[in-house]
Amino acid sequence: MRVSEYYNLGRTQPALDFVDIDITEDTPVYIDPSAIKNLSDEWATQCLNMLSTFFDSVLDAINNDDQDRVKNLLIRLQEPNETHFGLSKGKSRGRGLGPYLIQKLCNNLTLSRAAKTGMLEDLEDTALFIEGVGKDIVSDLTTNVIRGMLVTYTQSVALMYGIPLEEGVYSGLAWDPFRREWDGTFTRLPIADGNPLLLVPKVIVRYDLHLTKEEYFRNYLAPAMQSEELDKPGSKLVKTLKDGQKVVQKKDVEQEYGGGKEIIASHSFARPEVFQSYKEGKRLNPSKPLTHDQISAATQTPRIDLDALLHEVLTIPPGPEGASAYHRAVESLLSALFYPALSQPVIEFPIDQGRKRVDITYTNMADSGFFGWLQRQRHQCSYVFVECKNYKADLGNPELDQITGRFSHLRGQVGLILCRSLQDKPLFIARCRDVALASRGFVLALDDEDLRALVNEEKMASQPVNDQPTGEGPEGSPQPSEFRTLFERFRQLVS
């Protein structure tokens, strides 16, 4: 049974910000620390601080030959069954970590040349050079280290979706980046089938790690060694083809020198520019969040149905009686529609010390599309605000003043105001344009017809069509069918 079913959330996976895990069995996805690096919000920043201080502490202990410190840091790691990630058959058992594996990891790290020579810079590097470390271990290590932030996230989404929290739940040990020690505490967490749950944002999970030994060896290290063998006089690895061309095959390089992680570390140490080229290439081409279809496949849940989500919005009668239902239905639709660009929705988000509340607030995670374009144009939009107006009448200046009153240079100055219809849409857009030209922020007004257009755009974009035009955003920015409606509405504010 999934979290959404256990708590009767009335939502499917696309409309949820977290991975809709089975409460007893594992889901075959993993937390990739490289994915956290792609995010720029405060939550991710704190996670990265935890990861960097923990791994630096381990490396410092190794370099200082402090065996007790290394063991104290690693032996405290636990089997993180609360996330239900991995490949355990039947009930989650945390196969990634256990006393034997922790001791093995401790020994391998301590003896590793990569650790002692400074080649290991990040936690994810261990999957390349340390025997016994794969995606399951890296994911479990990451879960342990950022456990405190996962607790915070779980509490936030529990409040968001109405998941009950129980008091006095032992959270397990979490890393304190300031003291650089493990701390355990009791807190509030969901309890499902008698066990605590830790919920994880969809945007940081992957099928595999961004850095893999196989890719590094095949595409970087082996080609470098092939070139060296070709230049080496009398190399027995050089073969001559029928046309006289001399070649060295990757399989011969691996057979001659070995493909174990410690061997790879040794050859990488002798060729530091190769490893740095690999890391730089991966940095410039970060991994993408899993798509809706990939997550649905992993969780064995229904695929995204934007038409159904849109239908829920459109069938709500306008008027004050349907305001709350409209608010919730809009959030479900937008959360699915704008994933992964906008994440971590908060309903009734308090600002100005609680004196004001925003209907919906999203954290802007985008590096492409409309919301990524806004970031590149340096428009303040770390958060994107949404106000929902289930009115029978047209919007006016009071509604416009309300949403602009939520803007600030720190929070952001971009918002969406949703309503059922605008009898005089050009007039209200003109009012939004006046606000933009007065440097009070950018308000994009969207009615039911605009929502239909956005849903149709997304459905078309998800269809593989040959020679489909990519389109252009403002100022020539590439725009692969990611919401021309939003780009066009923005143009109307600045032209």
List, in sequence order, every beta strand (DSSP E) within 38-180. 166-176
Q: pLDDT value at position 352? A: 44
Whether the CB-CB separation of 31 and 204 falls below 8 Å is answered with yes
Q: pLDDT value at position 87? A: 73
Nearest to 169 by CA among 151, 148, 186: 186
Q: Which two tokens stand for residue 411?
A: 């929070």
> Can the peptide bond before residue 340 be classed as cis, meaning omega within 30 degrees of 0?
yes
3-state secondary structure at position 409: coil
Q: How many whole angstroms separate alpha carbon 248 and alpha carbon 235?
A: 9
Give the mean pLDDT per block of 10 residues along the chain (495 residues): 96 96 94 92 94 95 90 85 79 58 81 84 90 90 95 95 95 93 93 95 96 93 92 89 88 86 91 94 93 94 96 96 94 96 81 57 91 91 94 91 88 94 94 95 96 93 55 40 86 92
Q: Which helix (H) or strand (E) element contains residue 57?
A: helix 42-63
Residues written for the chain? 495
Whether the CB-CB separation of 227 and 114 falls below 8 Å is answered with no
Q: pLDDT value at position 358? A: 62
3-state secondary structure at position 391: coil
Question: Which residues are paired to 85 by β-bridges?
Answer: 27
Query: Reduced to 3 DSSP states, what percent helix, strand and coil does the chain have, rounded to the nearest 5?
Result: 50, 15, 35
Q: pLDDT value at position 185? A: 87
3-state secondary structure at position 39: coil
Reported as a single tens digit per residue, the pLDDT across 49-75 is 999 999 999 999 999 999 889 888 988
